[in-house]
């Protein structure tokens, strides 16, 4: 019985770690953005780690896949089991902290493929922790299923796959796109609210923390605050730091939000989304962008605008007006730039810079700067 339980746990944990690692390996830049959130001052307060987020993300996803492979093959048993235990202890604490204090709304455990709420992530980590504890308990039953040479070949193959796949997606973008801005998305429709679509929106409740004169505290919902007339009780006062909003009923939420193309104070979202053909040049942070590639792209887009008057082009960044002005002067940029929400831009484009093509409001393609050569190799038919 102990052997059976151990083998079932072994397959579940190994398979899940490989699946989770490959999903995040498909988009290590997105995972790095999530780590940056965790390292922020309002979460773990480790801002010195933020510049290393991408390096750490790549290391963690490769380690995750290899630990899953080691476990299934039965290799490096002691290292594998204690590494799994250490990782789960850390991530269980992280997801609990995130859920309890409502700091990060999606842990990024399975990238954008399977979004999980903080409490779902914590529950998943608890189950995995129990399974890993079961593996440690039954470690004597974890033995290699294949000859040593076969195991070595599979480990080398897994490591080679991880290295090549990670290099490819870092140089060209995700192979499988699960983002809200994936090709085929009608942006204007994806921005519509539940009310506009005739659907039920999620419901939220405000909660107040009230402090009595003797220092005791009580938490009440906004509904109870009104119904029970807490506002009439002079012996209680509301603590501003203890006021928060909580979702109490699920409903439709637009997949695209916090997205508006505002140029010089004018909202031009519909113009640069719904046009017959439009190109977005996205550099979510000009100071961190590959400046050589950014200048090359601006030059190519300037030529495209001159030759094809039917193409609309807009630049998008979260950088300051001063940085934009310096870039425009330096490159003789012939299209406008919008200052936008950096998180939204990171979701649209993992490449900094990168280009996105829309036709009649529908996203057609994302180009990493390594692939964005519009005038020479693109198979897109540009209007005259």
Q: What percent of the chain has pLDDT over 70?
A: 94
Q: At which residue do the structure tokens 């807009």 appear?
A: 314
* Cα 361 to Cα 273: distance, rounded to the nearest angstrom: 5
Convert the pLDDT of each residue in 9-58 to its tens digit: 999 999 999 999 999 999 999 889 888 888 887 777 888 888 999 999 99
- Which residues in the chain show pLDDT less than 50? 377
Residue/partner pairs of 155-164 with CB below 8 Å, 24 or more apart: 155/66, 155/69, 155/70, 155/73, 155/75, 158/65, 158/66, 158/69, 159/62, 159/66, 162/25, 162/61, 162/62, 162/65, 162/66, 163/62
CA atoms within 13 A on the CB side of 83: 19
* Cα 132 to Cα 125: distance, rounded to the nearest angstrom: 10
Report the SS3 class of residue 15.
Answer: helix
Task: Give the pLDDT of residue 352.
Answer: 92
Task: Give the pLDDT of residue 280.
Answer: 96
* Cα 286 to Cα 291: distance, rounded to the nearest angstrom: 8
Does pTM top 0.85 for this prediction? Answer: no
Convert the pLDDT of each residue in 177-231 to its tens digit: 998 999 999 999 999 988 888 889 888 888 888 888 888 888 888 888 888 888 8
Task: Give the pLDDT of residue 379.
Answer: 56
Domains and CATH numbers, the chain: 2-172 (no CATH), 179-197+254-384 (3.40.30.10), 203-249 (no CATH)
Non-local (6+) Cβ contacts of 99 within 8 A are 117, 118, 119, 121, 122
The first and second tokens of residue 369, run together, are 């700067």
CB 209 within 8 A of CB 382: no
β-pairing, 236-249 vs 203-212, is: antiparallel
End-to-end CA distance of the chain: 72
């Amino acid at each position: 019985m102990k052997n059976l339980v151990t083998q079932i746990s072994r397959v579940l944990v190994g398979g899940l770690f490989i699946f989770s690692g490959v999903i995040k390996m498909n988009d290590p830049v997105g995972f790095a953005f999530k780590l940056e959130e965790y390292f922020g001052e309002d979460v773990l307060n480790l801002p010195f780690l933020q510049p290393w987020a991408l390096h750490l993300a790549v290391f963690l996803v490769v380690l995750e896949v290899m630990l899953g492979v080691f476990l299934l093959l039965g290799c490096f048993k002691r290292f594998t089991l204690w590494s799994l235990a250490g990782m789960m202890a850390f991530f269980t604490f992280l997801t609990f902290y995130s859920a309890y204090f409502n700091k990060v709304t999606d842990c990024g455990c399975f990238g954008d493929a399977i979004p999980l709420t903080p409490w779902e992530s914590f529950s998943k980590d608890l189950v995995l922790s129990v399974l890993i504890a079961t593996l440690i308990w039954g470690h004597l039953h974890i033995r290699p299923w294949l000859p040593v040479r076969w195991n070595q070949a599979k480990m080398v193959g897994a490591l080679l796959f991880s290295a090549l796949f990670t290099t490819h997606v870092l140089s060209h973008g995700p192979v499988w796109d699960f983002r809200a801005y994936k090709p085929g998305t009608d942006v204007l429709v994806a921005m519509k609210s539940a009310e506009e679509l005739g659907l039920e929106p999620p419901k939220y409740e405000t909660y107040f923390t009230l402090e009595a004169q003797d220092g005791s505290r009580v938490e009440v919902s906004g509904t109870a605050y009104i119904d029970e007339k807490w506002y009439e009780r002079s012996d209680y006062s509301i603590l501003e730091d203890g006021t928060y909003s909580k979702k109490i009923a699920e409903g439709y939420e637009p997949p695209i939000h916090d997205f508006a193309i505002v140029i010089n104070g004018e909202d031009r979202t519909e113009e640069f989304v719904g046009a017959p053909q439009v190109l977005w040049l996205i550099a979510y942070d000009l100071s961190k962008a590959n400046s050589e590639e950014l200048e090359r792209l601006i030059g190519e887009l300037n030529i495209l605008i001159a030759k094809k008057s039917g193409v609309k082009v807009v630049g998008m960044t979260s950088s300051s007006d001063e940085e934009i002005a310096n870039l425009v002067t330096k490159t003789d940029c012939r299209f406008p730039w919008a200052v936008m929400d950096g998180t939204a831009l990171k979701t649209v484009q993992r490449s900094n810079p990168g280009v996105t093509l829309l036709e009649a409001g529908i996203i057609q393609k994302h180009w990493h700067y390594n692939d964005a050569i519009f005038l020479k190799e693109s198979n897109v038919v540009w209007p005259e």
